[in-house]
Structure 1
Amino acid sequence: MNKILVVLLSISLSLPGVQSVLASTENQYQRKLAIDEKNVTKHSTKVNGKKFKYTATTGTQPVWDKDGQPIASLFYTYYQRSDIKDSATRPLLISFNGGPGSASVWMHVAYTGPKVLNVDNEGYPLQPYGVKTNPYSILDVADIVFVNPVNTGYSRVLPDKDGKMPSKEQQKKMFFGVNADVKYLAEWLNTFVSRNNRWRSPKYLIGESYGTTRVAGLAKELQSRQWMYVNGVILVSPTDIGIKRDGPVKAANRLPYFAAAAWYHQALTPALQQKRLTELLVEVEQFTLSEYLPALVKGGFISAKEKQHIAEQVAQYSGLSVSAVINNNLDVDNRFFWKELLRDRKQTIGRLDSRYLGIDKKVAGASPDYNAELSSWLHSFTPAINYYLREELQYKTDIKYNMFGDVHPWDRTGNNTGEGLRFAMAQNPYLHVMIQSGYFDGATNYFDAKYTLWQLDPSGLMKDRLSFKGYESGHMMYLRHEDLRQANEDIRQFIKQSLPAKGQAAKY
């Protein structure tokens, strides 16, 4: 009997109808990316008290090799205001996050987009997780596209025409490095702008953290290789963009951030604590440039008297003890500071946002066990973006949304993105640059950002097109409600002020 059943089963499985059902079932459950698709939903919102309608397009668009074969596909979300008739005068903001390896989720559902996280006024997660209307979104003045580079969000590398995945080394060469990243993204943006008829629109690039390296490089790559000129570049919590800050400069530049974090946690002397933060930071910045940096330059040849004087002043501004500063030879690193500042309270402070507190297994030690702020953020961002894309924007897939994707080892050689941005500005009189930084960011501190701004154009001939904005929050300054309002308004004004007047030619 068993042999008969086996024979009957084998015959039935060989029938064409049964084979097609099995094949369709197999395809139905394959976890593969759609290479080129889009889905459009319609919405309405209210920004700064004014109501308007908009569309949200979620989809994928291929990255092609030189032979026109798709080698990856990028997931994006594109917001367009519906009541704008002339796209030629409508700005387009192109948004990237960083990492490298980070999805576009952070600025998408917490900063400039039409929805923001359900968090409290300081940015701490609340349940139920989800999103709410962003009353300050810059969608009133610009359309926005949020781009996920390869292996972030739903974006993925594709197998070749023979179904074989490229090797790790091949993927690195194609996608995972400073220059490879900029090259393929510029090609991708050319296609996106063409498909969506945005060639005449004023264009702006915004990047956060490593995304600032990305958009600084893209400004030149788009201009030089795609012949696409942009009106503005916004650097949010910037990296060094290839402008080196090594040795004594790197050490000295930390102090104003230390002072800001210590002020927030009320770890300074009463005389300093009663000052407004911005007032205090002016004082600390002046000491850093005029005394602290020159002292660090002297290294081991500094006199004992001067070393003691500098240590006392650094301790006063940082909230640390004089002995802690002396024992670090005046060069206090970040991880020690995050562990040491509130050691007497048995708490650590966050890396990306030092307002956040953590607790370690041991009070002893030279660095925190974990990054308190990142744990808090992943609480709210991960469920929110998965809910929002699937249920509100109706983009449904079984592919995992990578908050952080596999892009390492990342090739950091040949990082001349800052010089590229300067060159693009010199060639393009329309191009303006704005930096936005949180005073409590210990990963990409605000004084490093100012230093980058100062060194970006050593000639000083373009400083009227360079600006800096600071906020009383951290790396993602927009999580704090007041800074969400102000930072979006700063972008809004930056866009308005950098748009040329009618008839104003691009010339010096």
Structure 2
Amino acid sequence: MIRTHLAPILAAAILVPALASSPLSAQDTPARPKAASAADRAKEEVEAAWAHAPVDEQEVRHRDSVTIAGRRYPYTASAGTLTLRNVEGKPTASMFYTAYTLDGTKPGTKRPVTFLYNGGPGSPSFWLRMGSFAPIRIRTTNPEFIRPAPYDVGPNPDSLLDKTDLVFLDAIGTGYSRPLGDTKPEAFYGTDEDADAFARGILRYVTKYGRWMSPKFLLGESYGTLRSGALAYQLQERGMALNGVVLLSSIMNYGYRQPGLDQVYLNYLPSYAATAWYHNRIANRPADVATIVAEARAFATGPYMSALAKGQSISDAERDQVAQRMSQLTGLGVDFIKRANLRVDLPRFQKELLRGSARTVGRFDSRYTGIDADAAGERPETDASSDAISGAYIASFSDYLGSTLKYETELPYRQSARDAAGWTWNWKHAAPGPGQPQNNPNTAIDLGAAMRANPYLKVLSMNGYYDMATPFFGTENDLGHMMLDRAQQANLRFTYYPAGHMTYLNPEALHQMKADLAQWYDEAVSDARSATPPVPATTSSATPPNQMPN
């Protein structure tokens, strides 16, 4: 009896080890988790403490007001993030922005909105945000090193808020903008990749806040102008026709920087002349900078261009004649110019112009001067114009974001995407039309295509005479080769200011810029509402076409 009852039990006991050792049992039986090592646990704790950009969009708001031309404008300042998504809806990046919206603005409004950004590539937009047309700015003097904190930050009577709402965008990898999830940074680090990200960010903002019926504008500075050329075309291809594009201190064509090409020397010559005029290095100095610039333009497009085109076959007599005229315009010695084969690059000019006084001139703004440890060196050891302002801009923006806007995050505000390890930029660009992708982008081609497709698209090029980073004569050359017909040329306008790359550092120039922009915005919005496209304007060979008085 006992044996009968035990038999099934014994049989089962014998069978269990056999099943446990079979392949089927190995698959069905969960393995015991391996205990995490101390090193693994420490790594998990560190990773859990990392600061990440939010997938869910964030926003904080602050009410304030600013007085412009004697009238008070109440507004809402906001700081937040826009989540960028790919065509499948997967979140790929979080784009940080600050925005200034006039009180009473509602979805569906026909009030203009402008998207602003700096360049680099790899720069956030706190320069424009704190220095140009926002209702709050850091006040600067002309042209001096800004003293250490506390800084003079306050309401901006030259704000554009009376004409347009303002949205400042930070490129992905800069500021608080970051890739999300498994999206790699290189997905945004390139000419076309960057333009695509900004297009998605702008489309998202316009959709989220109901601004599809608003007149829409772009305002980019430096590399931001190259972005604007590509972006204007990309947005138009995606169904968003712009009313206007403002190009501030432009560089739209990197092709002329290739070794062996002479265009870069032509581009710089009028800026050299303006700088020599400012520092009183010109004999028979004219009364105003515009006069010496006009002389330099004429020389650059005539005898100088002809001489450089001859290369090494130029005659001694012509070389001597051209060097003499270059010396008169730039303040450099004739022998120095001849030893440089009539091709003086920017660092040499910065060092040579004031060599007798052991001073160098700035790159972003040649009104600024610096002192090198080695006065006999070949090039400046630093850029005085950058040293003079950087600390003030970084500190004042950091304080404004935290103390006034109350934006909280544990992410570090990245002053440049180049700070990240392994940063590289893809310079290839697929311009509109037939042909292979460009290895050195020229998005004036894109902008020209956008202007031909949209007869109401206005373009305003704003330039500083003392900008040596993006010389204005190069901008004139790039925009002058968009191959627009007469009617389209009427939509292109130029302005010039006694300032450098960041033209708004000069308070007088900022005031004039605001006046020029106010007139231009009124015209752009009015023309878009008229029944017929704008008519062609006559042009003058003495100055760039459609130059606004300033």
Instruction: Identify whether the pair has TM-score above 0.5, normalized to the shorter chain.
Output: yes
- Equivalent residues of 1:58, 1:77 under 8 A apart: yes
Alignment partner of 1:411 is 2:426: yes
- Equivalent residues of 2:452, 2:484 under 8 A apart: no
Alignment partner of 1:136 is 2:151: no
- Greater relative contact order structure (CA < 8 Å, 6+ sep): 1
Query: Separation in 1 of the partners of 2:145 and 2:376?
Result: 27
Match of 2:192 in 1: 179
Q: Which amino acid letter does the alignment assign opposite residue 250 of structure 1?
A: V
Name the Cα RMSD after superposition: 2.1
Which of these residues, 437, 442, 455, is aligned with residue 463 of structure 2? Answer: 437
Alignment partner of 1:81 is 2:102: yes
Which of these residues, 413, 422, 426, is aligned with residue 401 of structure 1? Answer: 413
| 409-418 or 81-90, which deviates more | 81-90
CA drift of 1:268 comes to 1.2
Match of 2:179 in 1: 157
Alignment partner of 1:32 is 2:40: no
Query: Separation in 1 of the partners of 2:262 and 2:486?
Result: 24
Structure 1 portions without partners, runs of 5+? 1-24, 161-165
- Cα 1:502–1:364, aligned 2, differ >3 Å: closer, same or farther? closer
Query: Separation in 1 of the partners of 2:257 and 2:382?
Result: 26
Match of 1:234, SS state, is: strand
Query: Separation in 2 of the partners of 1:48 and 1:370?
Result: 39
Match of 1:18 in 2: none
Which of these residues, 105, 109, 113, is aligned with residue 92 of structure 1? Answer: 113
Matching of residues 361-380 of structure 1 within 5 Å: 361-380=373-392
Which of these residues, 454, 457, 465, is aligned with residue 491 of structure 2? Answer: 465
Query: Separation in 2 of the partners of 1:235 and 1:507?
Result: 22
Alignment partner of 1:354 is 2:366: yes
Query: Separation in 2 of the partners of 1:109 and 1:444?
Result: 21
- Cα 1:490–1:503, aligned 2, differ >3 Å: closer, same or farther? closer
Match of 2:109, SS state, is: helix
CA drift of 1:280 comes to 1.5
CA drift of 1:405 comes to 1.8
Match of 2:249 in 1: 237
Match of 1:191 in 2: 204
Match of 1:293 in 2: 305
Matching of residues 8-407 of structure 1 within 5 Å: 30-35=50-55, 36-84=57-105, 88-122=109-143, 124-126=145-147, 127-129=149-151, 131-160=153-182, 166=183, 170-172=184-186, 174-224=187-237, 226-241=238-253, 244=256, 247-269=261-283, 271-272=284-285, 274-406=286-418
- Equivalent residues of 2:221, 2:247 under 8 A apart: yes
- Cα 1:85–1:114, aligned 2, differ >3 Å: closer, same or farther? same
| 275-284 or 331-340, which deviates more | 275-284
Q: Over residues 316-359 of structure 1, what are the superposed CA-to-partner deviations in whole Å (9 max), with x where a residue is unaligned?
A: 11111001100001111101000111111001111111111111
Structure 2 portions without partners, runs of 5+? 1-44, 430-440, 535-550
- Cα 1:416–1:473, aligned 2, differ >3 Å: closer, same or farther? closer
Query: Separation in 1 of the partners of 2:48 and 2:98?
Result: 25
CA drift of 1:118 comes to 3.5
The alignment-based identity, stated in percent, is 34
The normalised TM-score by structure 1 is: 0.89
- Equivalent residues of 2:456, 2:528 under 8 A apart: no
Query: Separation in 2 of the partners of 1:243 and 1:295?
Result: 21
Q: Which amino acid letter does the alignment assign opposite residue 492 of structure 2?
A: L
The normalised TM-score by structure 2 is: 0.82
